[in-house]
Amino acid sequence: MTNLQHLLALHHTYPLSLNKLHILLHEARTINGLTWLSASDLAQILNIGKTKAIALKKAYSTWMEKDIENYYASLDIEPIPYTSADYPKELLQLPDAPVMLYVKGNRKLLTAEKKIACIGSRKATQYSVEAFTQLMPPLISAGYVIVSGLAKGADTLAHRSAIHYGGHTIAVLGHGLHTIYPKANEELALYMGQHQLLVTEYPPFMGPKKHYFPMRNRIISGLSDALVVTEAAMRSGTIITTELALEQGKDVFAVPGPITSAQSSGTNNLIKEGAIPIWNGYQINYLSRNS
């Protein structure tokens, strides 16, 4: 039985962040040690109810009986634990780093030297389309892998633009790999799962939930050297992602927009608060070389 099997069984039973896993391992010594921990002790360690701890122990044992690794291999899904050399070291710096990533596609993109997030409004206008024609070619030429979230609007434009200009792109999902969301991006997701990269911290069988998407944003910013925002309203998930990037010490670039556009109100405000104004990708390359 491999260590990966133990990790997968636990992750499918009760997904823990890395810091909480370390707390469990401090008491149980090994992941499989939770089988001999009493339900009371497990409940205290994980700060959960005793009934839930009993159910956790039972579910873990059930998952341990399944051949999870070979099942996912048959679907071209690769689990990458935090102990793997293929796990992005940048994510280990997060206070709530994921214990496991599930990937489909070109996993080498995860550890590419240069990655940059390109995000924006789900209601992106033609202005974002035009912005990417100025931003993307220099970034691709400089070897950046484009990271985004496969959502409608700017995320979709970022992925498609990177592919159009011959580059590589990573989609970070807010659900498991058995689900394609939004359905409008089914063709794009299938293509990326073969030729680019899909990545998620959620086991493949987990569907989308509203609170998963803010969680995945920390991975988008965590993977990336910097963040580029094309359009964003004042209150949006995009702005939350920029806050995460700033907390992680990343540069935030924002495309200034028309003062009459609600979809540029957030980006203009980001510039007011210190984000770097950007209108072509060569500026990012110049700043990166001289930082």
Q: What is the mean pLDDT of each run of 10 residues along the chain (291 residues)?
A: 85 93 91 91 94 96 94 95 94 94 97 96 96 96 97 97 98 96 96 98 94 92 96 87 88 95 95 93 69 52
Chain centroid to Cα 137, Å, comes to 23
Same domain, 9 and 70: yes
Same domain, 60 and 144: no
With 0-12 / 13-18 / 19 or more C-beta atoms within 10 angstroms meaning exposed / middle / buried, residue 63 is middle
Same domain, 230 and 283: yes
> What is the per-residue pLDDT for 291?
52
- The values of phi and psi at residue 224, to 5°, are -100, 150
Among 255, 88, 249, residue whose Cα is nearest residue 172 = 88
> In the 8-state DSSP scheme, what is residue 2?
-
Among 288, 250, 286, 255, residue whose Cα is nearest residue 269 = 255
Distance between CA atoms of residues 127 and 255, nearest Å: 10
SS3 content of the chain, % helix, strand, coil (to 5): 50, 15, 35
CB atoms within 10 A of CB 153: 19
Same domain, 229 and 135: yes
> What is the per-residue pLDDT for 126?
97
Same domain, 67 and 113: no
CA angle in degrees (0–180, nearest 5) for 114-81-119: 40
Among 142, 95, 107, residue whose Cα is nearest residue 286 = 142
> What is the per-residue pLDDT for 1?
43
Asked whether the CA dihedral 159, 185, 82, 107 is positive or negative, the reply is negative
Same domain, 33 and 117: no
Range of the domain at 65: 3-74
Domain termination site, one of 74, 94, 124: 74
Q: Which two tokens stand for residue 36?
A: 């001999």
33 inside domain: yes
